[in-house]
Amino acid sequence: MSRNLIIIALAASALTLGCKNELFQWRGPDRNGIFPESGLMDQWPDNGPELKWAYEGLGRGFAGPVVTDKMIFVNGEQEGKSYLFALDPEGNMRWKSPNGEEFLGEGFSSTYPGARSTPTVLGNLVYTTSGTGRIACFDASTGAEKWSLHIVKDLGGWISEFGYTESLVVDGDKVYCFPGGTKTNMAALDRFTGKTVWTSEVLRDTFAYGSPVLANLPGGKVLIATSRHYLVTVDPGNGELLASYPLEGYEFDGEHCNTPVYVDGYLYFVGNDETGQGAMRLELTPDGKGIKEVWRNPGIRNNFGGLVVVDHHLYTTLKGNELVCLEPEHGSVVDSIRVSTGSLAYADHKFFCYGNNGSINLVTRQGGSFENKGSMKVTPGTGQHFSHPVIAGGIMYIRHGDALAAYRVQ
């Protein structure tokens, strides 16, 4: 081989190594609220962890960030338009790209305008949605748009009362989405071109603000999603409905918005309907074609704060300012601690509880008892405290309206 060919081969190899197809997405690598961190602080200082930086200028919204090895991507709304922002690890904006109209709402929903979805990153491509249903793919390095489509105009989908909130599932060469239409209820898109691979009617049920998960079952991968009245499993290869489980007691303002969590053959979910199942543990058959209820606890309800499952114990926050632990066999509450009701993340054996009042509590549970290891108040930003914490590289990222704040927790 000539010297020039060797140089070209080495350069190509280096380029390939620099573009690893790593997946970064909503609620961590497995969409379960658990972040693979270690060496985090066991106790926070009295005034909370140090604020490393805060970027102000995202516009309105509740959309959480996704943090890769090199960049941070987050959606925001400015003057009614949706934008995807790319920040470097020091909080400097590298680029922002438009993604159509953002959700502003009407009537009561107009009190919650702004970005909703967390981007998904695979390799050098970023996939995201606006609150009005525009799905787009961007180059992660430059922000150049690769392709786009609209769930209503192009797929016959339906926008819910509080907008389109889905954080897209990306796997292999496909992007999976839930337009919520009667004919195109769920769809798979080619992730490089945006062309439709398949559409499925599923149960023709409407969108319910949650995001699907892709689970590796013994019999193969299945998509798991929530609609307004059902929890479903779907074949990701062709969109075939495999199984469904009815969600009872649907209330218009109850809204079960949480992302399901799959662990070792079991599916965990928490709804928010007063006459619904509340928290539940469901057993899936190895092929995903059967869903069996193991237990339900109707008194455990959470709207959009999420749930975490550790050693098959389900953790979530409740109205009334509690973090609770449910044991695996019957779903009974075995421990609780007072924290502000809100969203939940877990890393390095620690719970990060971001309250709707702007407070954050660091909580551990060892020897069967919760313990508060520190608290703080989020000061940068505006509006409601609805976003979910992200823990990456020893940093806790908190989106609060116009601002994204980075706190050192290592």
Instruction: Map residue 29 onto helix, strand or coil.
Output: coil
The answer to whether 265 touches 246, Cβ cutoff 8 Å, is no
| Closest C-alpha among 356, 319, 360, 312 to residue 336 | 319
H/E run at residue 391: strand 390-392
| pLDDT above 80 for 91 | yes
| pLDDT above 90 for 322 | yes
| pLDDT above 70 for 13 | no
User: Rounded to whole angstroms, how far apart are CA atoms 46 and 170?
Assistant: 41
pLDDT given for residue 15 in this prediction: 35
pLDDT in tens, 228-254: 999 999 999 999 999 999 999 887 766
Residue-averaged pLDDT of the chain: 94
| pLDDT above 80 for 348 | yes
Chain mean position to CA 132? 18
Amino acid at 242: L
The answer to whether 183 touches 202, Cβ cutoff 8 Å, is no
The answer to whether 147 touches 162, Cβ cutoff 8 Å, is no
User: Rounded to whole angstroms, how far apart are CA atoms 174 and 172?
Assistant: 6
60-77 mean pLDDT? 97
| pLDDT above 80 for 47 | yes
Name the β-bridge partners of 145. Answer: 138
Query: Cβ neighbours of residue 38 under 8 Å, at least 6 residues apart?
Result: 348
pLDDT given for residue 251 in this prediction: 77
353-372 mean pLDDT? 97
| pLDDT above 60 for 8 | no
User: Rounded to whole angstroms, how far apart are CA atoms 268 and 314?
Assistant: 8
Least confident of 17-21, 174-178, 203-207, 269-273: 17-21
- Split at pLDDT 50, 70, 90, the class of 270 is very high
Instruction: Please identify which residue in the block is written with the tokens 């114990």.
Output: 313
- What are phi and psi for residue 131, nearest 5 degrees? -70, -10
Name the β-bridge partners of 295. Answer: 281
Q: With pLDDT > 70 as the criterion, what percentage of the chain qualifies?
A: 95
pLDDT in tens, 117-161: 999 999 999 999 999 999 999 999 999 999 999 999 999 999 999
Instruction: Please identify which residue in the block is written with the tokens 């004919």.
Output: 183
- Split at pLDDT 50, 70, 90, the class of 256 is confident
Amino acid at 319: K
**Interstrand relation of 266-270 and 279-284 (parallel, antiparallel or unpaired):** antiparallel
Provide the token pair at 212: 């699907």
DSSP characters over 183-214: S-SEEEEETTT--EEEEE-TT-PPB-S---EE
279-292 mean pLDDT? 98
Using alpha carbons only, what angle is made at residue 101 by residues 98 and 104, rounded to the nearest 5 degrees? 130
322, burial (CB in 10 Å: exposed 0-12, middle 13-18, buried 19+): middle
The answer to whether 288 touches 218, Cβ cutoff 8 Å, is no
Task: Tell me if the pTM is above 0.85.
Answer: yes
Q: For the chain, which domains are there? A: 21-35+43-408 (2.130.10.10)
Higher pLDDT, residue 252 or 320: 320
Query: From the CA atom positions of the chain, what is the Rg in Å?
Result: 21
Q: With pLDDT > 90 as the criterion, what percentage of the chain qualifies?
A: 91
- Split at pLDDT 50, 70, 90, the class of 20 is low
